[in-house]
Each structure stands twice: as C-alpha cells, then as structure tokens.
Structure 1
Amino acid sequence: MNGFIKVAVFNYQHEYAILQLLLEQAEIRFFFQNETVLGVMPFYSNAVGGIILKVHPEDLEEAHQIIDDFKTRENLRTV
C-alpha cells in the first residue's frame, strides 16, 4: 500500500466504525494500518502509534470532506 497518505489516527476501533462505513459507501480507497494488532491488543495503541487511516492520493480530497462532515454531525458524535 505504498503511496497511500495518512489522514487520521484513532486509538480504538469503535472510534471509526461509522466513518469506515461512510468511506466504503463513497468507494474511497483506504485502509487502517495497525487495525489487526490493536484489535487483539488494544492497550498497545500508544506504543504502535494508534490506528492510522490511510487514503489513496486520488481520493484524498473526498475523504477529507467526508471526515469533516462526520465531525460536524451532532447526531453521530461518540460519547
């Protein structure tokens, strides 16, 4: 997955569950680096740098727009 660009970092999988669905619906090419490791050992999040969302360069602008919209939606805020 060379060439993909770091867009966001999360500590736990539940923090990006809805965002992942939104990215998939928009057919954005992305992946979460360290997702499997931290799914098994969640307390290692700080040690490995968190779960990193990486997006294909051609989808970067659209991904940023989806993330910005996600942040501003009051009904989707996590507790």
Structure 2
Amino acid sequence: MKDYICLATFTYPHEYLVIKLEFENAGIRHYFQNETLIGLLPLSSVAFGGIRLMVHPSFISKAKQIIDSLNDKSSHLRIV
C-alpha cells in the first residue's frame, strides 16, 4: 500500500460514493485512507487531512479519465 498515489482528497464520505462505484466497476485498485476514522468522527476531517483517494500506479491514467468524465459539466453524475 506504500506505492499507492493520492489522486484526490475529500472532506466527507458522501462526496466520493459515485467515484467509489465507478472505480469498483472498472476494476481499479484503490482505497480511501482515513475513511473509517472520518466516518466515525466527521467533524475531525480537516484535522486528519481529509479522506484520501489512494490509487495503484498502474491504474492512474484510467482513474483520472473516470474523474475527468465525472467533472464534465454535461455529466449527470457530476462531482460537486
């Protein structure tokens, strides 16, 4: 897990649910660092540096494509 790269940071768990589903469907190896801790103590998110999306280096380009497609203004699953 030390080789994984931080691709994005989120403050609360509800902000990344669509990304999580898209990554699982695409078979992208990833995990969310601090996910459980911030789920239990949501007001401490800033203190812990947020929830980090960690992606395996071999899936970086595919992961960026998915994130970019979700940030597209025409996407109905747009990330806020």
What TM bracket, shorter-length normalisation? over 0.9
Q: Which residue of 1 aligns with 2:78?
A: 77
User: Runs ≥4 in structure 1, deviation > 3 angstroms?
Assistant: none
Number of residue pairs matched by the alignment: 79
The superposition leaves residues 24-79 of structure 1 with CA deviations (integer Å, 9 ceiling, x where unpaired) of 00000000000000000000010000000000000000000000001114412366
Structure 1: 5+ residue runs without aligned partners? Answer: none
With normalisation by structure 2, the TM-score equals: 0.93
Structure 2: 5+ residue runs without aligned partners? Answer: none
Q: Which has the higher helix share?
A: 1
Identity %: 47
With normalisation by structure 1, the TM-score equals: 0.94
Q: Which residue of 1 aligns with 2:31?
A: 31
